[in-house]
Amino acid sequence: MSISSVTEPPKTKRGETSRAAIFDAALALFLERGYEATTMRAIAERAGVSLGSSYHYFASKEHLVLEFYWHTHQLHVAAIAPLLAREHDLAARLRGVVRAVIVTCEPFHAFAGAIFGTVANPASPLNPFGREAKALRDEVIELYAGVVKGSDARLPADIATELPTLLWLYQMGILYFWIFDRSQGRLRTLDVIDQTTDLIVRLLGLANLPVLRGSRKRVLGLVRSIAAGA
């Protein structure tokens, strides 16, 4: 069974409680012992459920990490909804959305560091660029399509088509920077976001200059190539 399969939500309050306990136990143990050293049996024991119950809700450790991806994504979507409803300036929308990624993920900073070695491995099924993460990757790209579409920016059609994928790649770069950021309150990451989102929007404003059209085509072709290989 593919680990990208989505498990059905529990139908009872008790089921929801058990599933949450297993998820919380996994996050704690991955942080304490590391991903590779943590077993499903240890997770079940920490959660106070049987091993069979843990497999009922999560078929593998990989499913638990994918659940973490989806969990933080859902928190992020909820956090940015008011911003996207009221703000139409592209720079403000982009800066707010990417800042919200960091704020949403900040409680899990240590956990993200604990699983980074596994996630960054190109052969890992948990790699964000891999097949198993495609459903979530597509959702995040669609989110950025909404960020662009809901703005008052007027962009060339070819840029508007590829920009959401480029912004997803940008978000991944910011998240990797954040994992290694040891500054108080992750202020270095927030500063990088403020500077780079402004730069991105400025470059988009120059995209129609004749001198840049050749470079634009090369960049968009590179984005398409990366997306096709993901």
Contact assessment for residue 133 and residue 4, using Cβ atoms and an 8 Å cutoff: yes
- Which of the pair, 46 or 127, is modelled with greater confidence? 46
Which CB contacts under 8 angstroms, 24+ apart, belong to 137-141? 137/168, 137/230, 139/73, 140/73, 140/168, 140/171, 141/165, 141/167, 141/168
Is residue 45 scored above 90 in pLDDT? yes
What per-residue confidence (pLDDT) applies to 5? 45
What digits encode the pLDDT tens for the residues 197-226? 999 998 888 766 665 666 667 777 776 776
What per-residue confidence (pLDDT) applies to 4? 47
**Chain position carrying tokens 């992020």:** 76
What per-residue confidence (pLDDT) applies to 221? 72
Return all residues near 186 (Cβ < 8 A) that are at least 6 apart: 102, 106, 109, 178
Among residues 145, 144, 150, which one has the least CA distance to residue 174? 144
Contact assessment for residue 44 and residue 50, using Cβ atoms and an 8 Å cutoff: yes
Torsion-angle region of 33 (φ positive above 0: left; ψ -120 to 50: alpha; else: beta): alpha
What digits encode the pLDDT tens for the residues 150-188? 999 988 888 888 899 999 999 999 999 999 999 999 999
What digits encode the pLDDT tens for the residues 84-124? 999 999 999 999 999 999 999 999 999 898 888 888 888 88
Please give the domain boundaries of the chain with CATH numbers for all domains. 1-59 (1.10.10.60), 61-229 (1.10.357.10)
pTM of the model: 0.84
What per-residue confidence (pLDDT) applies to 34? 86
- The percentage of the chain sitting over the pLDDT mark of 90, rounded to a whole number, equals 61
Q: Helical H runs in the chain?
A: 13-33, 40-47, 51-57, 61-86, 90-105, 109-120, 134-149, 157-180, 187-205, 213-229
Contact assessment for residue 204 and residue 159, using Cβ atoms and an 8 Å cutoff: yes
